[in-house]
């Protein structure tokens, strides 16, 4: 029997299923459709989180699925943007490197402490929002008028929030691991 608490997971899963459609639309120059799709994908990220928090529809699956959906959506989009020539390659490298560092750090933390509770930091949420805004803006720039300085400013914000987010996660996990190690002594 389907329970309402699974609605956020359904929304998140739908976002994952939309990723190949988005990439296909981008490479087939269906920019209006891809703009609508990525806009709704971004809104779905906010909606599933809102529902999970406000109605206490949190699940363990959702705690892992939501960041996976975000990363899948944004990493593939930014790699596509590099291939399409919309962003410099180093921007995608910064975004991908942060996620690789977080993945390796999370695995190391889990192996060291036998714990890993998925808790997104505030800066991480800001970073995801900034990346979604930049992605929407890049696609919008293909169908409408958007000043290059706005895109440059958004790229700078994404770089800053990406670096800050990665740094804060590493510091937080290091602090927690140190605290656990002290308790075990």
| The pLDDT of residue 133 | 96
Q: Which domain CATH number covers 88?
A: 1.20.120.1760
Q: Which two tokens stand for residue 174?
A: 């290091």
Is residue 57 within 8 A of residue 4, CB to CB? The reply is yes
Q: Which two tokens stand for residue 184?
A: 């075990």
The Cβ of residue 27 has, within 10 Å, a number of other Cβ atoms equal to: 12
Along the 185 residues of the chain, how does pLDDT read in single tens digits? 778 889 999 999 999 999 999 999 999 999 999 999 999 999 999 999 999 999 999 998 898 899 899 999 999 999 999 999 999 999 999 999 999 998 888 887 778 777 777 678 999 999 999 999 999 999 999 998 899 999 999 999 999 999 999 999 889 888 877 887 787 77
The tally of domains found in the chain comes to 1
Strands in 21-121 per DSSP E: none
Q: Which two tokens stand for residue 56?
A: 């206490």
Entry field: residues in the chain: 185
**What is the domain range of residue 149?**
4-184
């Amino acid at each position: 029997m389907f329970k309402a608490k699974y609605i956020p997971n359904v929304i998140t899963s739908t976002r994952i299923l939309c990723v190949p459609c988005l990439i296909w639309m981008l490479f087939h120059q269906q920019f209006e459709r891809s703009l609508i799709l990525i806009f709704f994908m971004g809104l779905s990220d906010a909606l599933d989180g809102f529902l999970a928090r406000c109605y206490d529809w949190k699940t363990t699956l959702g705690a892992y699925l939501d960041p996976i959906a975000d990363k899948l959506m944004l990493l593939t989009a930014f790699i596509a943007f590099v291939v399409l020539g919309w962003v410099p390659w180093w921007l995608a490298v910064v975004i991908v490197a942060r996620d690789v560092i977080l993945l390796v750090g999370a695995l190391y933390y889990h192996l060291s402490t036998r714990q890993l509770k998925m808790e997104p930091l505030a800066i991480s949420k800001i970073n995801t929002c900034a990346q979604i805004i930049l992605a929407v803006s890049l696609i919008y720039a293909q169908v409408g008028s958007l000043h290059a300085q706005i895109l440059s400013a958004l790229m700078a914000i994404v770089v800053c929030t990406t670096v800050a987010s990665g740094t804060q996660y590493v510091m937080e996990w290091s602090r927690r691991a140190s605290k656990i190690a002290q308790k075990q002594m």
